[in-house]
Amino acid sequence: MWRTVMAMALAGGLLACVGEPEVQRVDLTADSEKAVLAALTKVKASEAQRIAVLNAYDSRNGELVKLNRSSKQIIDQWYTLKRTAPDYLQQVDALAVKWAQVNADEMRARGAYEHELAANLSPGQWSGWLDFMANLAAARRRAELYRQDGIAGPRGP
């Protein structure tokens, strides 16, 4: 029974890939720069557009990576709190304030980055960019799901 379900899921996944072959050519574990380069190819960006988008990426990516890491660290701290501690709720409040600030900063930085991208791409290219990135994100989530629950075998290092 489970083999049938897995075969159907695999077949569905393969059929879904037919419409977006570029997603399959991008290594799902690739760093964001490779995804940006693949997206630029997908939307047929001109050389000037490629330079503008890569400059926007270079100017914002470090900050976005740092903010994402900070957000995850705060969540990790929250998970380690002792739920029965007398000051647990105060600790949660303090972490919530920090997390809200980090996420506000991330939204501002990502908004500035995406504004630069949208300003340098045509509306059609921007739409294609968003579709490509959404498909890539979904493929990454599926890959992570399959690694975590053992469907695709044991987790790697």
**What would the mean pLDDT of 112-128 be, rounded to a whole number?**
95
pLDDT number for residue 1:
41
Residue 155 domain flag: no
Using a pLDDT cut of 70, give the percent of the chain over it: 74
Query: Does residue 122 sit within a domain?
Result: yes
Looking at per-residue confidence, does 145 or 93 come out higher?
93
Task: Report yes or no on 106 lying in a domain.
Answer: yes
Question: Whole domain around residue 81: which residue ranges?
Answer: 2-148
Note whether residue 100 is domain-resident. Answer: yes
22 has a pLDDT exceeding 70:
no
Taking alpha carbons only, the member of 157, 110, 146, 149 closest to residue 9 is 146
Candidates 28, 37, 43; CA nearest to 57 is: 37
Number of domains in the chain: 1
Q: Is the pLDDT of residue 49 over 90?
A: yes
Does any domain span residue 132?
A: yes
